[in-house]
Amino acid sequence: MVRATIRQYRMLESTAGVVVGVSGGPDSVALLHLLNALKSEMGFWIVAAHMDHGLRSDSWSDAEFVREMGRKMGIRVEAATENVSAVAAEGGVSVEEAGRRCRYKFFEDVRISTAANVIATAHHMDDELETFFLRIFRGSSLHGIKGIAPVRGRIIRPLIRAKRRDIIRFLEAESIPYRVDLTNLEDEPDRNFVRNRLFPVISQGFPNFRNPLRRTLAMLEEEDEFLDVQAKKLCSDAVSTDENCLTLDVEKLASAPKVLAARAVLLALYNSSGREERWNRSHIQSLINTLYGNNPSAHLDLPGGFVADREYKRVRIFRPKPQVSPSVDELVARGPGEVEFLDTRITLRFSLRERGDNPQESLGDTHKALFDADKVAFPMTLRAFRPGDRLKPWGLEGSLKLKKLFINMKVPFGLRRKIPLLVKQGEILWVPGIRRGRTAAVLPETRRILEVSVVKGLERLRKTDC
């Protein structure tokens, strides 16, 4: 069966090196012996890797057992010790999760140091079915309950189609010794409860439940693969990525079925954060609610220091860059010339000239504003938006809250404090790129004109602000 599984899933290539994870228990011992028997026929070489998790006072004896087994078989053994309990406490994860991370990191280190190609673990059919029930009880998705993948990256599982009882029969028939971890006979953790109490009860009514359940998992795998293909297409079409952030197209994602939108978002998140970051259902649901919701400026705090900001027709997901708050959020333009506004790279040019024959300002050009220079003399202030700011808009009576203007103009929340406001004696004269105030208008009696224009930065900031 192991030979057929290796070939079916193309787990090994000729001359490949295999790191075999060996705990000393029956499953991993059987895997090591079976691969050792096949290595000459299939053309690969193996090295055993054992990690002592330090969870039992006698756990050191497992390492000695594996070393002795390696010596007898002529197989190189790499061993390491890790205080998994301390790792779990430091990382705020369960002991089981900490052990998994430590094991796979150690296996990968051995793979690299030995120039091996893949890592073989001893997961078998019963492990897969136990995982299925555990994830059902925890409310997992279709992707979560579909089973354990025979191949995942550099991880291969040659025993995945073997049953635990068949593994034990093989060891007994070949008189191969193995270690028994007595904690596996207890009802904790949850996996042992499923293995030692739930499965015996199910077997009373359905003695052969493993095979039909495995067929069900196979069908779930096929359906999950189909949905993954569709989600990848949607992700490619609706999600853009640069080195700083993910940008989700709200219209494209919200027009797709929610199940595909959720998968596309999850795929994008893992592509950005890596597999070590854990994205659970609540995080994805919150993002989907943001996509389908009516709040155009929604904000979410996500794991790993990520945040999500909706900005009308897009949602940006990124890790905010650490910023040192400036002591002031304004600077002074003391005369003609160019001024770069703080750290935004938006540059404004101030020019003075005599009134010409055609001083009429084009209100359609939001990147330039003309003022009566005798009414707004230097120095002038450029500063960031502050709560309560108001503008007296050109062509309107009274004043308008700048926050409301930003909302009406669909200016993203994260951009609002980066637009330099032109201010004189506390009054906002111009919001570059947005709206001019009515103060200091150029009239027939105007003798000199102050022209203020955006030289660079504003359009770049609109398109790529992350």
Say if 324 falls within a structural domain: no
Which strand ranges, in their side-by-side order, compose the sheet holding 155-156?
A: 77-81, 45-52, 17-21, 118-120, 155-156, 151-152
What's the CATH code of the domain at 83? 3.40.50.620
Q: Which domain holds residue 447?
A: 330-464
What does the block give as tokens for 66?
């594996």
pLDDT of the chain, 466 residues: tens digit per residue: 889 999 988 998 766 899 999 999 999 999 999 999 999 999 999 999 999 988 877 888 899 999 999 999 999 999 999 888 888 888 778 888 888 899 999 999 999 999 999 999 999 999 999 989 988 988 888 877 887 889 988 999 999 999 999 999 999 999 999 998 655 544 457 888 898 899 999 999 999 999 899 899 989 989 999 999 999 999 999 998 876 788 999 999 999 999 999 999 988 888 877 666 677 788 888 888 888 888 888 888 887 778 888 888 888 888 776 544 444 578 888 888 888 887 677 889 998 888 765 555 555 678 899 999 889 888 899 999 988 899 998 888 889 999 988 888 888 877 888 889 999 988 999 999 888 999 998 888 888 889 999 988 776 444 444 4
Based on the fold, state whether residues 226 and 195 are members of the same structural domain: no
The one-letter amino acid code at 311 reads E
Say if 60 falls within a structural domain: yes
Say if 286 falls within a structural domain: yes
Supply the pTM of this predicted model: 0.60
- Tokens 């940006």 belong to residue: 316
pLDDT value for 173: 95
Angle between helices 26-42 and 60-73 (to 10 degrees): 20
List Cβ neighbours of 333 (8 Å cut-off, separation of 6 or more): 339, 348, 350, 378, 379, 380, 381, 382
Gap between the Cα atoms of 225 and 214, Å rounded: 16
Say if 136 falls within a structural domain: yes
Domain boundary among 318, 341, 361: 318
pLDDT value for 323: 46
| Per-position b or e across 263-274, b if 16+ CB within 10 A of its CB | bbbbbbbeebbe
Based on the fold, state whether residues 189 and 249 are members of the same structural domain: no
What's the CATH code of the domain at 260? 3.30.465.60
What does the block give as tokens for 402?
């700048």
Gap between the Cα atoms of 405 and 111, Å rounded: 59
Domain boundary among 284, 318, 352: 318
Say if 137 falls within a structural domain: yes
Q: Is 306 left (phi over 0), alpha (psi -120 to 50) or beta?
A: beta
Based on the fold, state whether residues 22 and 147 are members of the same structural domain: yes
Based on the fold, state whether residues 382 and 459 are members of the same structural domain: yes
The one-letter amino acid code at 201 reads V
Domain boundary among 146, 178, 207: 207
Based on the fold, state whether residues 154 and 221 are members of the same structural domain: no
pLDDT value for 182: 56
Based on the fold, state whether residues 29 and 166 are members of the same structural domain: yes
Based on the fold, state whether residues 13 and 131 are members of the same structural domain: yes
List Cβ neighbours of 241 (8 Å cut-off, separation of 6 or more): 247, 268, 271, 272
Q: Whose CA is closest to 334, among 381, 384, 383, 385? A: 381
pLDDT value for 363: 58
| Alpha-helix runs per DSSP H in 51-193 | 60-73, 84-91, 95-114, 125-137, 142-145, 164-173, 190-193
Based on the fold, state whether residues 158 and 299 are members of the same structural domain: no
Based on the fold, state whether residues 431 and 450 are members of the same structural domain: yes
The one-letter amino acid code at 410 reads K
Say if 235 falls within a structural domain: yes
Say if 301 falls within a structural domain: yes
Instruction: Provide the domain count of the chain.
Output: 3
Based on the fold, state whether residues 227 and 104 are members of the same structural domain: no
Gap between the Cα atoms of 26 and 172, Å rounded: 10
Q: Residue 460, Cβ neighbours under 10 Å: how many?
A: 12
The one-letter amino acid code at 64 reads E
Based on the fold, state whether residues 171 and 307 are members of the same structural domain: no
Say if 71 falls within a structural domain: yes
